[in-house]
Each structure stands twice: as structure tokens, then as C-alpha cells.
Structure 1
């Protein structure tokens, strides 16, 4: 249905690399800026543009059979789609995230402390208000974060260029105008064993708020 609305045919890709609503490496995603500007200054989401040039693509296979498709720009803005199928025909959720902060642990005790923050009911950081846990609900005092491997591609040959293991939790806060701002807190480790702590802010998108 979405392809018919925009009068486009599905883009051809190499085997193993999906195009989600025509979004893939080498494509430009055009966003409706009203998606976030309608909230005025309520959003801290550090992004104010209407185009994304996709230079890398990631895929996560979830334990429940679903898939996360991620599309990255040069400055690490992440366009993300959750689907029920690997090919990406059945899209259930679309979000846009931009980097807020990145830290590298300087000692062995920092990582357990960071994991505790990911497990807590609420999350905050310097310069940020309080966000409540969005995954699993806020009822439990502690909740184990989600873990997965992400396969990353730098081109469309279908060959995985690198893999990153991630432990993450999604938080959110309500904002004026019946909206919400999302916070994704991540503990990530590459195949070389290098660890970083990432905070990304974002928001949900409707299917009609972007095109490629």
C-alpha cells in the first residue's frame, strides 16, 4: 500500500539486504519536519533536518521471530524499522534516533553500574529530565535489558562487514501535544572487545511521515 501511495516500485537489492519501504544503503530518506517541530521546544531530540543520507545498514533478528532494520547516516543518526518478516514487508514500528552522548568505560566497575542504570525503572543523565522505562512497563523495580547482535553492512553486497553486541533499554517521557520523546540507552561491544555506553534520543514516526 505504501509503495502505491508514493508511486514507486520496490528497489532491487542484493540477496540478504532488505529495503524497508524503499529505504536502504545509498538512498536518501525525506522526512516530514512537522513530525517533531509541532512539539516546539518540548523535545530535546537533537535533530532538525528533513533528509537522511543512508550510508550503513544493520539487521537484528529478535528471539520472538521479528526483525529490527537500522539505517545510519554519517553522523550516526539512526532510522529504525521493526518488522515481522526479514524482507521488511510487514512494518510494525518506525522510529528515528539521534546521538545524545557517548562514553567509554575507564575501569572495570563502570560497566556493572551502567547495566544497573539500564535495568532501573527510570533513567536520567546530565542535561536530561527523567525518562520512564518503555519496554516491559514501569511496574518492576528492576528489569533485565534486551540483548542482541546487530549485523552491519557498509554496502549492498549482502556480506556482513562487522557485528556489535548490544545490551539496551528503551525509556520515554510524555511531552506536550500528546507526544513522547524516546531515550535508548545502550551498552555496546564490538568483536574486538571495545565497549562504549551510548545514549540516543528519538521519536516515533508514522508511515506517512517519510519517503525514500
Structure 2
């Protein structure tokens, strides 16, 4: 009764998700367009705005310890950060990715062929309208290398105790150097628990900390 009389509000529910440089579900991220414009006409990366509305958040724990924090918009633009802790208190290695293509593999043979492509030291992107990309992970070797496999837990509510989705991913990261900087590409198969697998390609760029804020 006294709360109603004096206008006191209940406390906002505590966030259970990491906040990486103040970024989490429900926040807006401002971007500096020079981050991609400096790459010029060579790049395949495109983005038609300088602000991202974050509506989902993913967390991956890698086998060797670091955490990957991912922040998504409704149209699948992804801002990614690495950190040594799940809270993202000391995050580093920021990247921004936009979707390039997405397809449902028709059968097991198509899935095996995709995994074979991800094992090569160079990804030939001609079928997707892309150039060739040298492998960034395991770049010290020209031998075939099995792609990385990991689980991502995805949340769409800051107060959630459990993820709304868990996605198994088979992926490889690639990079090519342009006159204005480096362009990244990640190719992956993702299979949500209880869902159908898809083959995805995303084009990315590295971000300096001064090139974004929330």
C-alpha cells in the first residue's frame, strides 16, 4: 500500500546475462561507419546503418578456456567479443559480422560436402558469389583441418535462467587482406536442438574499441 501511495516502484529484475562494454539484450550499439568504409570497394561487407538493436545474446565456452560473447539483431547482424571470463569484464578481439547466405542442405551428402569444404586451407566462394578466402584458424598449416565444433547458448531475455535455444555449430574462420584492412568470413553449419541444420556464411570486419559504443 505504501509503495502505491508514495510512487515507489519495484526494483527492475536483475540481469543474468553478461554485459560486454555495456552491451546486452535490449541495448543499442552505435557504430562508426568508417570501420567498413575504409575497406573501399574491395570488400564484400555491407551494412546499411550505424546502430544495432540487440535482441538476442549468445555465449560459447571454448575448450581451451576463453568465452565467446555474441550479440544479435533481428536481421542476424552479429557483434562478437572474446573474454577470459563468462561475465565479459575484460573483453577483447571485437568483430562485426553480417549474413551473406543461408541454405538448408538437402541431404547427408550435402552436409558431408560442406564439412569437406570447411576442412580445406582455402574456401572457394565462387558458388556463393564470393572470392576465395584463406583459412584464418590453423593458418600456419596448408594441410586439411577438421572444422571447429562448439555449442552456443542463446538468450533473448536479460533475466532468463536458461537459454531459449542451444545451437551446435561446425565452423571455420577465414580472412583476406585488402588495401584498407582485413575482411573476415565465417562459414558454418548450425543445428539448433530440435531443429533443422543450415549452412551459413557471414562476412565480417575487426572492430577497434573506439568504433562502437552502447
Q: 1:52: which partner in 2?
A: 52
RMSD over equivalenced CA pairs, Å: 1.4
Q: 1:152: which partner in 2?
A: 154
Whole-angstrom distance in 2 between the partners of 1:13 and 1:36: 37
Whole-angstrom distance in 2 between the partners of 1:15 and 1:53: 17
Q: 2:9: which partner in 1?
A: none
Gaps of 5+ in 1: 1-11
State how 1:20-31 maps to structure 2 within 5 Å. 20-31=20-31
> Structure 1 residues 133 and 13 mapped into 2: Cα distance closer, same or farther (>3 Å)?
farther
Whole-angstrom distance in 2 between the partners of 1:188 and 1:129: 23
Q: Structure 1 length normalisation: TM-score?
A: 0.90
Residues 24-47 of structure 1 show CA distances to partners (whole Å, capped at 9, x for unaligned) of: 000000001111111221111132
1:163 aligns with 2:166: yes
Whole-angstrom distance in 1 between the partners of 2:40 and 2:153: 36
> Structure 1 residues 13 and 97 mapped into 2: Cα distance closer, same or farther (>3 Å)?
farther
Whole-angstrom distance in 2 between the partners of 1:58 and 1:68: 8
* Secondary structure class of the residue paired with 2:108: coil
Of 197-206 and 184-193, more deviation after overlay is shown by 184-193
Q: 2:188: which partner in 1?
A: 186
Q: 1:176: which partner in 2?
A: 179
Deviation at 1:15, TM superposition (A): 5.2
State how 1:16-165 maps to structure 2 within 5 Å. 16-125=16-125, 126-159=128-161, 160-165=163-168
Deviation at 1:158, TM superposition (A): 3.0
Q: 2:3: which partner in 1?
A: none
* Secondary structure class of the residue paired with 1:109: helix
Q: 2:211: which partner in 1?
A: 209
Q: Structure 2 length normalisation: TM-score?
A: 0.90
Residues 89-144 of structure 1 show CA distances to partners (whole Å, capped at 9, x for unaligned) of: 11121000000000101122000100011111011223111100000115232111
Runs of 4+ in structure 1 over 6 Å off? none
Number of residue pairs matched?
200
